[in-house]
Amino acid sequence: RWERGQFVLTDLGSRNGTLVNGVSIREHVLASGDRVQIGGWTVLVFAIDDDLEQRALRLQKLESLAALTGGIVHDFKNTLGAILTNAELLRDQLAARPGSEAETEMVDDIAIAARASLDTARRLLYFSDRDEGSDLIALDLGKLVDGVIAVAGRALQARRINVEIAIGPRLIIRGRPDELHHVLLNLIMNARDAMREGGVVRVAATARTLARTEALELHLPVEGDYVELTVSDTGCGMDAATQARALEPFFTTKPAQEGTGLGLSTVYGVVRRLGGNVLIESAVGRGTAMRLLLPRG
């Protein structure tokens, strides 16, 4: 089975047992090249296609980052909350004291900085949080895309960027409207930023039914019905090194004043929480396609 970025082999109490590399196992994390013996005679060699193995390793790295980030950010958020609460209380006290304008301004600066840091922490939690999804609702993907394009339209026109939309009929996904709006807007604005001299953004979506082997290859938790949403551009594209790190929090190729590096990590976090995955197809000078696989609602 596929579990947290690894292939895990489990012996379910077979009569003759299962051996990996000559050692009897109950459960074993498989690596490429492992020799698996089932029963008395059947011997299999476990192999992973190089591309699949690399994607599995990247996914494992991202999930480790998400787990580490989540614990740190929750503590950081609690600390910031205490700073902000005390700053607001201090401001109220200073407001009743004549001649304390300079001190009040300093406290206001503290509160502004704390709120900005809390906003960053919340965006990091998009990347790291896991929840049960009890408040997810059914959403029409076509309507969601139309709403995001309406918001982003002016920014795209200013760069002379045309938009093409190809959304299949009755594509329903489950999620939170604000999160998925944020995901789509992030992808479209990233595409805009990759096209300094104009170009085309294409938003396309189709229904896909994946067998178990296909789901495993795409690092999805279960087989079944999915929606494949692709946002592509005709921009500068990414090299292999950039693609490998693009979904990590705080990684960015933009100047410091233009990006925080949290856009794509937010996209990744939301999509993984919904039981999907994010795939990147890109080449320098040939544009980028961001493929999102989301369970159908």
Q: What is the pLDDT of residue 236?
A: 94
Q: What is the pLDDT of residues 11-36, one digit of tens each?
A: 888 888 898 988 888 898 888 778 88
| Mean pLDDT for the stretch of residues 212-234 | 92
* The two three-digit tokens of residue 221, written as one number: 């938790």
Q: In the β-sheet with 277-282, what is the strand arrangement from edge to edge? A: 161-167, 199-210, 224-233, 288-295, 277-282
Those residues with Cβ within 8 angstroms of residue 170's Cβ, 6 or more apart along the chain or in another chain:
140
Q: How distant is the alpha carbon of residue 73 from its chain centre?
A: 17
Write the burial class of residue 106 (CB in 10 Å: 0-12 exposed, 13-18 middle, 19+ buried).
middle
Domain topology for 2-47: Tumour Suppressor Smad4 (2.60.200)
pLDDT higher at 292 or 69: 292
Which neighbouring-strand residues pair with 232? Answer: 202, 289
CATH 2.60.200.20 segments of the chain = 2-47
Q: What is the pLDDT of residue 291?
A: 97
Question: Which has the minimum average pLDDT: 3-12, 60-69, 189-198, 251-260?
Answer: 60-69
Q: How many CA atoms lie within 13 A of 13 on its CB side?
A: 0
CATH 3.30.565.10 segments of the chain = 137-295
The conformation of residue 87, written as its DSSP 8-state character, comes to: H
Q: What is the pLDDT of residue 123?
A: 67
| Mean pLDDT for the stretch of residues 42-47 | 76
Indicate if the pLDDT at residue 210 is higher than 70.
Answer: yes
Those residues with Cβ within 8 angstroms of residue 277's Cβ, 6 or more apart along the chain or in another chain:
59, 218, 219, 220, 271, 292, 293
> For residue 287, what pLDDT band results from cuts at 50, 70 and 90?
very high
pLDDT higher at 43 or 104: 104
Give backbone dihedrals phi and psi of 237, rounded to 5 degrees, phi first: 75, 175
Indicate if the pLDDT at residue 109 is higher than 60.
Answer: yes
> Could you name the CATH architecture of 51-128?
Orthogonal Bundle (1.10)
Domain 137-295 -> CATH class: alpha beta
Q: CA-to-CA distance for 180 and 188, rounded, in angstroms?
A: 12
The proportion of the chain whose per-residue pLDDT surpasses 70, expressed as a percent, equals 82
* The two three-digit tokens of residue 72, written as one number: 């740190």
Nearest residue to 127 (alpha-carbon basis) of 293, 287, 265: 265
Q: CA-to-CA distance for 36 and 7, rounded, in angstroms?
A: 13
Q: CA-to-CA distance for 276 and 295, rounded, in angstroms?
A: 6
Q: How distant is the alpha carbon of residue 167 from its chain centre?
A: 22
CATH 1.10.287 segments of the chain = 51-128
Give the pTM: 0.62
Q: What is the pLDDT of residue 75?
A: 75
* The two three-digit tokens of residue 28, written as one number: 């074993």
